[in-house]
């Protein structure tokens, strides 16, 4: 539990800050799109309002964003009116439910399926694209065969197709990821096979970053590639798989030592810290 005077009201595309007086825009949008949104949205705000723009706002029209902003303003006015009529101490607004917190953590996806063994409050606002399925089971992880996946985050090794693997090691300074050929045969066609392994590794690394909640600095030792265009393909694949990550991921490319460097914003405790 955290006490703060920085009030935030969350919508599907915007987070309304009634008293913060600044504009922040997701770094998952490109620079040109961010600057365009910044100029446009700044004209909609009234002092001392502020706004945080989610990444999926970039695909929406100004009319959609203005409508959501006005809805959040209306919600804020209702809270002020309610608080003025209350006798302290009292609860003006309840905190987000677990469902809303999870959706917010994942930047409120436009469509997804949520399985729950707890009935959801019918009064709770849920995006139209969220399909709620109630399953009265004691262990949903077991029902949907997720226990094995969850236990796998405790292991440093992650298998890749055809015998290759990646090894993930956490240190105080950074997370190191090493790509190994394993039993996968490499011979005269090293470049071709190394590229294939690296592309598989890039896809799995994007998945593991989210699954393990890895944050901070990450250094990846991909298999050595001699052709510049093949190294570019690895970076392109890594950018593609991390583009949908709710946390901001910045990829800095290959270093002089041949390591791929990236950072991921910390949003929760890493799985390694919970063991």
Residue 268: C-alpha distances to residues 55, 58, 212, 214, 244 (Å): 19, 25, 10, 9, 17
Alpha carbon distance 41, 33 (integer Å):
12
Which numeric CATH code is attached to 155-274? 3.40.630
pLDDT at 33 over 70: yes
Domain ranges of the chain: 9-85, 98-143, 155-274
Q: What is the tens place of the pLDDT at every residue in 11-29?
A: 888 999 999 888 999 877 8
User: Which position has the higher pLDDT, 274 or 35?
Assistant: 35
SS3 195: helix
Please answer whether residues 10 and 225 qualify as being in contact, where contact means their C-beta atoms are separated by less than 8 angstroms. Answer: no
Residue 153: per-residue pLDDT: 82
What pLDDT shows up at residue 28? Answer: 76
**Kind and range of the H or E run holding 208:** helix 190-211
159, containing H or E segment: strand 157-159
Residue with tokens 């090794």: 157
Q: What is the pLDDT of residue 242?
A: 92
d(CA 260, CA 248): 17
Distances (CA, A) of 221 to 41, 185, 253: 41, 19, 12
């Amino acid at each position: 539990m955290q006490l703060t005077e920085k009030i935030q009201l969350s919508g599907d595309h915007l987070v309304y800050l009634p008293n913060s007086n600044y504009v922040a825009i997701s770094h998952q949008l490109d620079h040109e799109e961010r600057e365009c949104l910044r100029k446009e949205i700044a004209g909609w705000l009234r002092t001392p309002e502020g706004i945080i723009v989610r990444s999926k706002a970039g695909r929406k029209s100004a009319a959609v964003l203005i409508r959501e902003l006005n809805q959040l303003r209306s919600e804020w006015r209702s809270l002020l009116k309610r608080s003025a009529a209350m006798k302290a101490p009292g609860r003006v607004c309840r905190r987000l439910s677990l469902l809303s917190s999870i959706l917010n953590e994942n930047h409120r996806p436009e469509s997804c399926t949520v399985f729950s063994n707890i009935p959801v409050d019918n009064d709770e606002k849920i995006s139209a694209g969220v399909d709620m399925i109630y399953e009265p089971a004691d262990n949903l992880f077991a029902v949907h065969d997720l226990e094995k996946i969850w236990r796998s985050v405790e292991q440093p090794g992650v298998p890749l197709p055809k015998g290759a693997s990646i090894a993930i090691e956490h240190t105080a300074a950074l997370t190191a990821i090493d790509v190994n050929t394993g039993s996968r045969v490499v011979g005269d066609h090293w470049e071709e096979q190394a590229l294939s392994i690296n592309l598989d590794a890039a896809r799995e690394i994007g998945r593991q970053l989210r699954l393990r909640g890895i944050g901070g600095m990450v250094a990846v030792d991909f298999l050595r590639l001699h052709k510049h265009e093949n190294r570019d393909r690895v970076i392109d694949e890594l950018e593609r798989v991390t583009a949908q990550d709710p946390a901001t991921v910045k990829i800095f490319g290959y270093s002089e030592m041949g390591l791929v460097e990236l950072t991921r914003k910390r949003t929760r405790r890493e799985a390694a810290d919970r063991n």
